[in-house]
Amino acid sequence: MNAMTEQTLPTAPDIQPAAASGLGYFFYKVKKSPLTVAGLFIILFMLAMMLFAPWLATHDPNAIDLMYRLLPPSAEHWFGTDEVGRDIYSRIIFGSRQSISVGLFVVAVSGVIGALIGCFSGVVGGRTDRVIMRLMDVMLSVPSLVLTMALAAALGASLFNAMLAIAVVRIPYYVRLARGQALGIREMGYVKAARTFGASRWHIVSWHVIRNALPPLIVQATLDIGGTILMAAALGFIGLGAQQPTAEWGAMVATGRNYVLDQWWYSGFPGLAILITATGFNLFGDGIRDILDPKQKGK
């Protein structure tokens, strides 16, 4: 046996260089796409804002000072003050903790649950698959904002309930995406081979299907973070999200609406924060979609 090994090795075609994969390649591609880098910087900036909020804020975000209500931006209050004299800049800094963690939490929960349901549905197939997919279709047939509002209202007005409601409503999107991937992967030779040696469904899903279905799911999740922040802001806007006095961007825009004609800075700056964050995650998501697409690899 050894003799044979030594004979065949030199004649076997040479190994290809390991250049076309891995994290190094990923960052190489990220660096070549300026928009992705911009998105990445926005995300890092926002994460730093969450972490270092107490040091970045100039005032206590909840300190009420009725002497200084609705002041325009100035050297003392960079983004002005709101109707009870709180510093809007500090509230935006602290609000990032609420808004961005909503985005990350919702995407993590709905992404993981949706991906698992979708992969199992696709692998199991048959009647189970049909029942699951019809259920998801029913959820998708109701406009998502209406469904989220109904769920959040039923659970009671709080930020956590709003997050749960958004997460539940986002699940069908991941289920559909993961199932579509699973249907293709199920027909691959490595899944057929796994079935011949009696692998369990959980083994097939965890070893083969999830691993190969991951790139589009990651992209979908990144793109969703921006949308989720907007959704949480929308819920906050109609009073179903974060409650006073917690600083949250959507709620700030909502209250500021009453003063928008004379005090533009009140809803303007939180709105700008939402816009920038959503843009950052979208740019990054778009970028990694292009990078993970194998058809783009040659470019």
Partner 1 sequence: MTTMPVLSLKDIQVRFPVNPDWRGRPRQHVHALNGISLEIAKGETLGIVGESGCGKSTMAQVLIGLLQPTQGEMTLSSGKSNGKGGMQIVFQDPQSSLNPRLPVWKIITEPVFAAANRKVDKAAMRELAQQLAAQVGIRPEYIDRFPHEFSGGQRQRIAIARALAAEPDIIVLDEPTSALDISVQAQILNLLAELQRSRQLTFILISHNVSVVRHMCNRVAVMYLGQIVEIGDAAQVLEHPAHPYTQLLLASVPTLESVQDESAVPENVELPSNRVLPTGCYFKDRCPSASSACLQPQVLKQISTQSQEHEARCHLAHPD
Q: Which residues bind partner 1 (CB under 8 A)?
A: 1-2, 4-5, 8-9, 11-16, 18, 20-21, 188-190, 192-200, 203, 207-208, 211-212
114-129: b (≥16 Cβ within 10 Å) or e = bbbbbbbbbbbeeeeb
CB-nearer residue toward partner 1: 12 or 67? 12
- Nearer to partner 1 (CB atom), residue 141 or residue 200: 200
Nearer to partner 1, 20 or 64 (CB): 20
Contact 137, 197 (CB under 8 A): no
Do 111 and 217 touch, CB atoms closer than 8 A? yes
CB of 2 to partner 1, least distance (A): 8
Contacts 24+ apart (CB under 8 A), 266-269: 266/70, 266/80, 266/82, 266/83, 266/88, 269/79, 269/80, 269/88, 269/89, 269/92
Q: How far is the CB of 95 from partner 1 (least distance, A)?
A: 39
Q: How far is the CB of 97 from partner 1 (least distance, A)?
A: 35
Nearer to partner 1, 17 or 141 (CB): 17
Query: For 61-72, b where at least 16 C-beta lie within 10 A, e where not — what string?
Result: beeeeeebeebe
Closest separation in Å from C-beta 184 to partner 1: 10
Closest CB to partner 1 among residues 31, 211: 211
User: Least distance from C-beta 291 to partner 1, angstroms?
Assistant: 16
